[in-house]
Amino acid sequence: MDTACVDTARVDVVRAAGPRVLGLVLAGGKGTRLAPLTDDRAKPAVPFAGLYRLIDFALSNLVNAGYLRIAVLTQYKSHSLDRHITTTWRMSTLLGNYITPVPAQQRLGPQWFAGSADAIHQSLNLIYDDAPDIVVVFGADHVYRMDPRQMVEQHIETGAGVTVAALRVPRSEAVGLGVIRPARDGRTIDEFLEKPADPPGLPDSPDETLASMGNYVFSTKVLVDALHADAADPDSVHDMGASIVPMLVAQGAAGVYDFTENEVPGAKERDRGYWRDVGTIDAYYDAHMDLCTLDPVFNLYNPHWPILTSVPSLPPAKFVRDLPGRTGMAVDSIVSNGVIVSGGSLRRSVLSPGVRVNSWAQVENSVVMNNALIGRRSVVRDAILDKNVIVPPGAEVGVDKEHDRARGYTVSPDGITVVGKGITIE
C-alpha cells in the first residue's frame, strides 16, 4: 500500500475526533539570570522540586491533555536537555506520537535562532510535515498546571488567529513580562506591550495588570503567514511576544485566555491560577519554598494531573541515628529517593536524589541538588547548591553573605547564596 495513503488515512481518523494539534515548546533561551545554575545547562533543564526538570511542567501539561506530537526547539547548552527528553519523554510510535528535541539546524542559512519567532520560522518544516490545524506554542521554563484543551476550545470558538494565555499580576511585577490591554468583551486584545516600564492597570483593579504567560494557541495558516511576514521585516526582533503577537493584535486577530478560568482535574481552589516564572534566582528559590509549606499553593501530589518525569533507580530515602543533638530528621522538607540523612537535620529544604547529610550538619531554607555531600557539623542556610557540591566538615555556606561573595559565590538580591556545579566549599 502507498505510504502516503496510510499517512492520510491516519490524519483523517485523528481529525474526525477533533482538531489536529502540534505542540512546539520553546527551549532555546540562555537563562542568564539563573546563573550559575545555567552555566552548564539550558534553563529548561535546570532541576526543580527534587526530581523534575523545569521543562517537565510544560510537557506534562501537553501530554496530560492528550497532545502527543511535540517538538522542543533547543539551542544553548542543550546536551542535558536533549538527553532528558530522549530518555524520559518517549511516546508510542505506533500511533505516530513523538516528543523530540529539535536543535537549531540552520535550514535557512548560516545563522542561529535570532529570537523565539525566528526559531519557529527556521523550523517550519515541522509544521509542514505534521500538517496540524492548530499549533500550541508553550514556553519551557514555568512552574504551573494547565489543561490546554480549554484554551484550544476557546480559540476555535472565537475564531481568533492567536490566543494568548494570561493572568493577573501586580503592576510592580509585570515590568519584565508581556502585558495585555483587553477589549471590553474581555476576549479580544486591544494592545500588547512587551516588558513596559509602566504597565497599565485594569479597569476593575488599577494595581493589577494582565500579563502574558508566554503560552499561545495559533491557527496554523495565521502562524505561518505571520512568521513569513516577520522574517521579511529587517527591523523586527523576531520574538513571539514582541513581534508576532503585536502584529496580529494590529490585525484584530488576537484573543486572550484567562488562565484563572482553567479547570485542572484534581486541583483545589487554592491551586487555581498558580504560575511562576522562575527566571531569576530569587523566583526559583521562592517557588521551592512554596512547596515546603504544610498546605502548599502548588500541590505536587495531584494524581489526576501528574507532573511526569523519569525517576532514578535509587533506594528510598533513609534517616538514621537518634542521639541527643545527632538525630537524622527532616521538618517541612521534600526529600527525594537515594538521600541519606545520618544524624543531621533538615528544615524547610528540598533535596534531590543521592544527597548525603552527615552528623550534626544543619540544612535550613535551602535547595540541594543531586549527589551533594554535606559534611559533619557543617551549616547550609538560605542557599542553593548545584549537583555534586561538597560541603566539608565544619564548613558554612549561606550564613555570612559577605564571606560567600568573597569566596566567589553568587548571592541574589534577596540574599540567597548559589554554589555552582561540582564546587567544594572552602
Q: Which residues make up each annotated binding site for alpha-D-glucose 1-phosphate?
A: 178, 194-195, 212
Q: Are 314 and 330 in contact (CB under 8 A)?
A: no
The DSSP line for 282-305 is: HHHHHHHHHHTSSS-SS-S--TTS
| CA–CA separation, 222 and 380 (whole Å) | 52
| CA–CA separation, 245 and 238 (whole Å) | 11
| CA–CA separation, 190 and 255 (whole Å) | 9
Closest to 164 measured CA to CA, from 99, 232, 211: 211
Residue 269 dihedral angles phi and psi, to the nearest 5°:
-60, -30
Closest to 259 measured CA to CA, from 154, 403, 172, 375: 154
Q: Are 335 and 352 in contact (CB under 8 A)?
A: no
Q: Are 44 and 78 in contact (CB under 8 A)?
A: no
| CA–CA separation, 157 and 119 (whole Å) | 28
What angle separates helix 79-88 from helix 55-64, to the nearest 10 degrees?
30
| CA–CA separation, 237 and 115 (whole Å) | 7
Residue 291 dihedral angles phi and psi, to the nearest 5°:
-75, -20
Residues at the binding site are 178, 194-195, 212
The DSSP line for 230-276 is: HHT-TT----IIIIIHHHHHHTT-EEEEEGGG---TT--GGGTT-EE
Cα torsion angle, 348, 352, 353, 358, sign: negative
Closest to 143 measured CA to CA, from 349, 290, 270, 32: 290
Query: Can you say how many angstroms the Cα of residue 275 is from the centroid of all Cα atoms in its chain?
Result: 10
Place of cell 523576531: 238
Query: Can you say how many angstroms the Cα of residue 197 is from the centroid of all Cα atoms in its chain?
Result: 25
| CA–CA separation, 134 and 161 (whole Å) | 10
The DSSP line for 129-145 is: HH--SEEEEEESSEEE-
